[in-house]
Chains A and B, each alone.
Chain A
Amino acid sequence: MQLEALRLVNFRNYSEQEVAPGSRLNLLLGQNAQGKSNLLEAVYLLATGRSYRGAADAEMVRWGAAGFAVRGRVQRAYGEVLLEVAYQVDQRKRVRVNGTDVRRLSELFGYLTAVIFSPEDLQLVKGGPAHRRRFLDLELAQIDPAYRQDLIDYQQVLVQRNNLLREGGAVSAASASRRLGPRLDLGQLEVWDEQLVTLGARLHAKRARAVRALSRLAAEAHRRITAGRETLRLAYLAAAGPGGRRVEAEGEGAESTPEAFRRRLAEELERVRPLEARRGMTLLGPHRDDLLLAIDGAEARSFASQGQQRTAALALKLGELEFMREETGEYPLLLLDDVMSELDSGRRRFLLEAAGERAQVFVTATSRRALPAGQEERAQVFTVEQGKIAPGGEPLSEAGTV
């Protein structure tokens, strides 16, 4: 897929800007604080309705303006799509697909898909499990509307169930005889349990399947980056063991069907109930799962060097790119924010060759030298300066800091 045209109005430091990106490698060149990341943020906003930097909508409005609008024209295999995300201060964000308002933000997903890679993605390897769950969720939500809805529902079930675990629920005459401890109404708990395990098993099955595919694709990228010297392995760890301990998800087969996993989750849930009642929270399920990354058998989070961790993060992102291509038949956009300066020239070349041949890529950099030799000629260069973007443009002075 390809973003053919982009228009920003009062978005971050852009007042009014149109861009016509090239179909493959796009280099956004500019000194610090000129608006390079802001542009990637706008592209990502069209894909997911949100900032990849976690910014609130109001923060993306150009200072002094009353609202922003980001519009894009996307070329898909099935035709052209017009997307618009607009926000007016104190109003709800408005999303339009082909000129028609959509009721829910999530209905935007899937028209433009994007993979972002920025220095913070090192947290995927170094950080806590929440980073890796978010990674899996965003990847799956972009390509699977049913997953997205199940995830929303699951989170709501969790909120309700945790509330019940804490408050116990009003005494119910119908089930007064079935209480756990002095407070907790089992009859009420069970209707949340049932939804927790049904939705949880569906999320689990899709995540576990995605991780199997990712493991194959990321391992392949990793093998090529390290010239076969190291082996990356991914495994999905489900918080479905005794007491909520994480256990490695089984491979394909009878034991990994949603139905089998649902039964297992239900059994463990019943066992962990007294503990949950004491702690007032849900201890089992996909909201506590993790993704294991191991290099030559050693967990990357604890044992890998900085360089190895960077390589693993890069391989994971390239795996995500290929996974989304396998699932949707088209390459998502690849947005590379500031990563050139973090990678050595071999990895830079690999990244741009692996992705730049097939996907539409946006790379930010402060210097043309960020691109490996031979790539610059292929790239469509844009100069970003104080909230203005010009195609090609002057060769910048290379005084920009990194």
Chain B
Amino acid sequence: MLYAEPIARLIGEFSRLPGIGPKTAQRLALHVVRMPREQAQSLAEALVAVKDRIIHCSICGNITENDPCRICTDPGRDPAILCVVEEPKDLVAMEKTREFRGHYHVLGGAISPMEGIGPDDLRLKELLPRLASGEVKEVVLATGPDVEGEATALYAARLIKPLGIRVTRIAHGLPVGGDLDYVDEVTLARALEGRREI
């Protein structure tokens, strides 16, 4: 073994993270060795805190510290409009536009047969009970602009429409194939304005 066991172990942990290869993992680990102890402590605590304190909101599925989350409990939000997104990062992208003042529903992904992800692997079944009370008047489908996001939106639209609720899809013209969180806020705000019936 070229590195002492604790360093080798840290390199191993780093290289399990997405987008981090062995070289970067080694660089990060050696950086930690040079860190002041307090900084390393703080990093370790931050990691554990995320696992201990972050949970999924039982209403919208977003990641949160408190259940229900801040958005679900915010009285200033319009309960008549519900925006469906794939991932928490897409919710954050929508929030950044400051255009949307309704509630959210986070699916946790998109339909993708090649990855074995079907409708029942998403939080679609949790969506329908939220619409039962009749309070929600419009559902905005803001799943990604790629074909998987479109398939998910079409599938959701078919489930929701029989309830007599207005269903819209945010307009395209987004850089297709890209992620929602990659799109700049102005583009996304315009996409929201230009949403169409699906």
Contacts and interface: CB of A to CB of B under 8 A. Distances in A.
B155 A188 contact: yes
Interface stretch (A149-157, A215-223, A384-392): A149-157
Contacts of A161: 113
Contacts of B30: none
Interface string B156-198: 0011000000000000000111000000000000000000000
Interface stretch (B59-67, B131-139, B144-152): B144-152
A187 B120 contact: no
A185 B118 contact: yes
Contacts of A173: 120, 125
B154 A174 contact: no
Contacts of A171: 120
Contact of A153 (B121, B147, B158): B147
A159 interface: yes
A169 interface: yes
B147 A160 contact: yes
B160 to A, nearest CB: 11
Interface of B: 111-114, 116, 118-121, 124-125, 146-148, 150-152, 154-155, 158-159, 175-177
Contacts of A153: 146-147, 176-177
Nearest to B145: A153
A187 B119 contact: yes
A173 B146 CA distance: 25
A164 interface: yes
B118 A188 contact: yes
B176 to A, nearest CB: 5
A170 B121 CA distance: 9
Interface string A86-110: 0000000000000000011000000
Contacts of B125: 173-174
Interface stretch (A30-38, A76-84, A191-199): A191-199
Contacts of A103: 175
> Chain A's interface: helix, strand, loop or mixed, by majority?
helix
Contacts of B121: 170
Given A152-B177, A153-B176, A191 B151 contact: yes
23 contacts: A152-B177, A153-B146, A153-B177, A159-B114, A160-B112, A160-B113, A160-B114, A160-B151, A167-B116, A169-B113, A171-B120, A173-B120, A173-B125, A174-B119, A174-B125, A174-B159, A175-B119, A187-B119, A191-B152, A192-B113, A192-B151, A195-B150, A195-B154
B176 A188 contact: no
Contacts of A226: none
A375 to B, nearest CB: 45
A108 to B, nearest CB: 15
Contact of A191 (B116, B155, B176, B177): B155
Nearest to A164: B113
Contacts of B151: 160, 191-192, 195
Nearest to B112: A160
Nearest to B119: A172
A345 interface: no
Interface of A: 103-104, 149, 152-153, 156-157, 159-161, 163-164, 167, 169-175, 185, 187-188, 190-192, 194-195
A169 B118 CA distance: 6
A163 B155 contact: no
Contacts of B113: 160-161, 163-164, 167, 169, 188, 192
B121 to A, nearest CB: 7
Of all A-B residue pairs in the complex, the 6 with the closest CB atoms, nearest first, are: A170-B118, A163-B113, A191-B154, A164-B113, A191-B151, A163-B114
A360 B71 CA distance: 61
Given A160-B151, A185-B118, A188-B155, 16 more contacts: A149-B176, A153-B146, A153-B176, A156-B147, A159-B114, A172-B118, A172-B120, A173-B120, A174-B119, A174-B120, A174-B159, A191-B155, A192-B113, A192-B151, A194-B154, A195-B151
Given A149-B176, A152-B177, A170-B118, A188 B124 contact: no
A149 B177 CA distance: 9
A185 B39 CA distance: 53
A163 B152 CA distance: 16
A159 B116 CA distance: 13
Nearest to B158: A187
A195 B172 CA distance: 14
Contact of A188 (B111, B147, B175, B177): B111
A341 B154 CA distance: 55
Contacts of B114: 159-160, 163
Contact of B146 (A156, A185, A187): A156
Contacts of A190: 154, 158
A190 B150 CA distance: 12
A20 to B, nearest CB: 36
A163 B116 CA distance: 9
Contacts of B147: 153, 156-157, 160, 195
Contacts of A187: 119, 155, 158
Contacts of B148: 156, 160
Contacts of B177: 104, 149, 152-153
A152 B176 CA distance: 10
A192 to B, nearest CB: 6
A170 B120 contact: yes
B90 to A, nearest CB: 19
Contacts of A194: 154
A173 B119 CA distance: 9
